[in-house]
Chain A
Amino acid sequence: MDHNSISDQLSAKREELFITVYKKAFPVVARYISRRGGSFDEAKDVFHDALIVYYEKPASAVLNNDMAYLVGITKHLWIKRYSENAQNIPLDKVEIGLGDEENHPSTHRLMRFLENAGKKCMELLTGFYYDQLPLADIAAKFGYSGVRSATVQKYKCLEKVRETIKEKALTYDDFME
């Protein structure tokens, strides 16, 4: 089987998982938010951010069935952002660690650059470090002969992106201070 169809299978499976999670959890949080006078757009906004927090938790990186946790984050985010009681939440409960990623103009420029010039490397690195996919899946997805050559390629990509960032940083004066 060639790597394109393996790659398609992996993304189809992933999409299916997301849809299942979405269909299970969104009605629960939408009901909670609508009963408290919130809107559909508010529900969507906080639910999408909660999915990101949920996804980034190491133990749920494979989207396991931890619905209560996901629903809990969504409620928390909605109360913090939109509810009339938003001012009464203690400060230490507020920060959930999802900053605005587009804040630094130079970071934004660099990301755009990498999306075009280094797409394959960025996807490999994201698969490994952010999605934490098994190396065997990464090898299959990107068409490497095995785990070993995927590992070597990962380090080569890391080095390439590292040198690109360094070079670009010298031309963007407000870069990642």
Chain B
Amino acid sequence: MTTSWNETEQIETYLNGFNDNGEALIFEAKTLLDPSLQDKIYWQQKTYELIQRYGRKQLKQEIEAIHQQLFTKPEHSGFRQKIRLLFTNR
């Protein structure tokens, strides 16, 4: 019996195009017989897109936090000065 996470793994392999020809054919035959599998493939693709957006959003916040550290903490005052000078003496 195929457990559900196994099927999720198979969908991932299929979407990545890593199946060998035989495996890909068998999987495609399965999707024809099982409309719910087509549905899962579609939503799994959407899930990867969402993870990408989610990751990017987290990264943006992380970079902003680093920026705040560099422009407020005392140990980075030398760096701060260097940048300020670039935008004041001109």
Contacts and interface: CB of A to CB of B under 8 A. Distances in A.
A172 interface: no
Given A152-B5, A158-B44, A176-B46, A130 B54 contact: yes
Contact of B50 (A23, A26, A27, A165): A165
Contacts of B43: 162-163, 165-166, 169
Nearest to A164: B47
B51 A34 contact: no
Interface residues of A, number: 42
Given A155-B5, A155-B8, A111 B53 contact: yes
Interface string A131-175: 100000000000000000000100110110111011001000000
Nearest to B10: A155
A44 interface: yes
B60 A18 contact: no
A141 to B, nearest CB: 14
Interface residues of B, number: 39
A120 interface: no
A31 interface: yes
A130 B55 contact: yes
A18 to B, nearest CB: 5
Interface of B: 4-6, 8-9, 12, 39-40, 43-44, 46-60, 62-64, 66-67, 69-70, 76, 79, 82-83, 86-87, 90
The 9 closest A-B pairs by CB, nearest first: A130-B55, A155-B5, A126-B55, A34-B86, A155-B8, A166-B43, A162-B47, A159-B8, A40-B87
Interface of A: 15, 18-19, 22-23, 26-27, 30-31, 34-35, 39-40, 44, 48, 51-52, 55-56, 101, 107, 110-111, 114, 122, 125-126, 129-131, 152, 155-156, 158-159, 161-163, 165-166, 169, 176
